[in-house]
Amino acid sequence: MKILIKLAFVVLSLLFFNSLVISQDFSLGEYQFKFKDSKWYRYSASGKEFEIIPERLILRMANKRKPTADDFSHLGIKDVKKISKRLLCDYYSILLGKSQNPFLAAEELNNSKEFDYVQFATVGKTLHQRILMILNIHLINGT
């Protein structure tokens, strides 16, 4: 009987946890992020959805220089695995390690004055589409 009760508790706990995971969402700037079908998606105001890579962020420092590990560690972001070469217009890509919560890291970077652009990398966009997106952001922001 005790085994049945423990099993029921485990099953109910898993169902409850699963419902929490399914209903997760997060906001960053003008975008909403939702967990659906075991993946994270970015939703724009127009309703378009793009799958994101949570552990990979595209960012730009306000002073337009290449970020260093110190730029992240003083914000409490300790597990930055890789900082890319400059992508375009002073944008860089970083890869976060498994011990770093990507959503908390993105929020911390977005709230800091050192970074003026922070966004999750998306799946399925060609390099050409990403360049056009970044250039469009420059035109809108006047940077």
What pLDDT, on the 0 to 100 scale, is given for residue 30?
82
Domain boundaries in the chain? 2-141
pLDDT(10) > 50: no
Q: CA-to-CA distance for 82 and 98, rounded, in angstroms?
A: 12
What pLDDT, on the 0 to 100 scale, is given for residue 11?
45
Q: If you average pLDDT over residues 78-85, what whole number do you get?
A: 86
Per the DSSP assignment, residues forming a β-bridge with 62 are none
- Is the whole model's pTM more than 0.85, yes or no? no
E-strand ranges in the chain read 25-28, 31-36, 39-43, 49-61, 80-83, 92-96, 115-122
Alpha helices by DSSP H, 68-111: 69-73, 102-111
pLDDT(106) > 90: yes
Structure tokens at 35: 């967990």
Q: In b/e form, how buried is each residue of 126-135, taking b as 16+ CB within 10 angstroms?
A: eeeebeeebe
What pLDDT, on the 0 to 100 scale, is given for residue 134?
66
What pLDDT, on the 0 to 100 scale, is given for residue 86?
80
Handedness of CA 15, 48, 50, 108 (dihedral sign): negative
CA triple 82-21-76, angle to 5 deg: 35
pLDDT(125) > 80: no
46, 126 in Cβ contact below 8 A? no
Q: If you average pLDDT over residues 43-49, what whole number do you get?
A: 81
